[in-house]
């Protein structure tokens, strides 16, 4: 039985992975997260990836065969002002894990993002396209990818995008806004792949089972903009009395610049025979279950 450690297990992907792996008898699962009111769980191990001593103590004690790193500073706009904290988690923390993983001969699966691309392409990005991040969060993620593969080419970089699941995300925000608003303004000039945490988790487990290595894109198929996604959410939730109004990124005026087009092609996954679900079909399935 292989020992598998999930960092950032209190986040939406971490939770989805824990559920997916908990059904399997070939893994002994360990969950870890940085302490917060949400993560006061007897089974949750305290782990601050940016703290070397803490990382070393936890990993040496567990001695996992596989580490899935879901720990990240993901607040894209906040990262512009809180650069030190974003760098500590997204770069120094990743280097801590990569260094220790090599010491104990563990495979590191590192979660990355579509935002490492600049959005200048008019077709989905492939795994071998060159990153050119537009904001500080994306810069830290691009740097972390290099670190992971430098420490071991046997590690996995799993890039995913526009995620929703159990927690704070775009889909849940739209649903929450309908409780108080009859009109919702949503950006219509950014295109990407809406992806459920559950779909991403299933793909990650597939790669682990195949002992894959290298860079993989794992997002739901089909491209849409945020405005189209918001309309689909309301349609599926049968909230026809709420109007979605399209606005530009310039009008929204977020602190961090986003790529205009960050859709990704799951080329390497599909070469292995694995096909991700269509974004709208997966969204419908998830909302029915919610």
Domain assignment present for 35 = yes
Sign of the CA dihedral 40, 42, 43, 47?
A: positive
What pLDDT shows up at residue 35?
66
Instruction: Name residues whose C-beta falls within 8 Å of residue 227's C-beta, 6 or more positions apart in sequence.
Output: 186, 187, 188, 244, 246
Could you give the CA distance from residue 273 to residue 206 in angstroms, rounded to a whole number?
A: 10
179 three-state secondary structure: coil
What pLDDT shows up at residue 96?
99
What pLDDT shows up at residue 84?
98
Domain assignment present for 173 = no
Domain assignment present for 290 = no
pLDDT means over runs of 10, the chain (290 residues): 96 96 91 69 86 97 98 96 98 99 98 98 97 98 99 98 96 94 96 99 98 98 98 94 95 95 99 98 94
Active site residues: 137
Could you give the CA distance from residue 159 to residue 129 in angstroms, rounded to a whole number?
A: 12
What pLDDT shows up at residue 221?
98
What pLDDT shows up at residue 24?
85
Q: Which pTM does this prediction carry?
A: 0.96
Could you give the CA distance from residue 208 to residue 4 in angstroms, rounded to a whole number?
A: 10
Domain assignment present for 266 = yes
Domain assignment present for 138 = yes
pLDDT digits (tens, 9 = 90+) for 237-268: 998 899 999 999 999 999 999 999 999 999 99
Domain assignment present for 109 = yes
Sign of the CA dihedral 86, 78, 180, 252?
A: negative
What pLDDT shows up at residue 65?
98
Could you give the CA distance from residue 62 to residue 98 in angstroms, rounded to a whole number?
A: 15
Counting the structural domains of the chain, the total is 1
> Hunting for tokens 């990124």 — which residue is that?
249
Q: Which candidate, 4, 9, 6, places its Cα nearest to that of 165?
A: 9
Can you give the residue range of the structural domain that contains 93?
A: 2-167+195-222+262-277
Both tokens assigned to 170: 């775009």
Q: Tell me the CATH number at 121.
A: 3.40.50.720
What pLDDT shows up at residue 31?
96
- Strand locations in 25-182 (E): 27-33, 44-46, 66-69, 107-113, 156-160, 163-164
What pLDDT shows up at residue 12?
96
Domain assignment present for 140 = yes
What pLDDT shows up at residue 290?
76
Domain assignment present for 190 = no
Contact predicate 153/107, CB 8 Å: no
């Amino acid at each position: 039985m292989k020992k598998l450690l999930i960092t950032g297990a209190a986040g939406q992907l971490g939770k989805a992975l824990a559920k997916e792996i908990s059904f399997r008898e070939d893994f002994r699962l360990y969950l870890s997260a940085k302490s917060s009111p949400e993560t006061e769980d007897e089974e949750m191990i305290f782990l601050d990836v940016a703290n070397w001593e803490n990382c070393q103590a936890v990993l040496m004690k567990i001695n996992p065969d596989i580490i899935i790193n879901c720990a990240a500073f993901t607040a894209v706009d906040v990262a512009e002002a809180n650069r030190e904290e974003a760098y500590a988690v997204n770069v120094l923390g990743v280097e801590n894990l990569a260094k220790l993983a090599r010491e104990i001969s563990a495979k590191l699966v590192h979660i990355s993002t579509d935002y490492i691309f600049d959005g200048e392409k008019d077709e989905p990005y492939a795994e071998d396209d060159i990153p050119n991040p537009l904001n500080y969060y994306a810069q830290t993620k691009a740097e972390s990818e290099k670190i992971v593969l430098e420490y071991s080419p046997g590690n996995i970089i799993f890039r995913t995008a526009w995620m929703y699941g159990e927690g704070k995300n775009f889909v849940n925000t739209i649903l929450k806004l309908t409780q108080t608003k009859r009109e919702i303004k949503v950006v219509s000039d950014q295109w990407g792949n809406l992806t459920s945490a559950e779909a991403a988790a299933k793909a990650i487990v597939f790669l682990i089972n195949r002992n894959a290595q290298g860079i993989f894109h794992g997002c739901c198929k089909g491209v849409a903009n945020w405005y189209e996604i918001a309309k689909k959410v309301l349609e599926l939730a049968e909230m026809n009395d709420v109007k979605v109004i399209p606005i530009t990124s310039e009008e929204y005026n977020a602190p961090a610049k986003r790529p205009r087009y960050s859709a990704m092609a799951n080329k390497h996954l599909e070469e292995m025979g694995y096909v991700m679900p269509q974004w709208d079909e997966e969204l419908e399935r998830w909302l029915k279950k919610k």
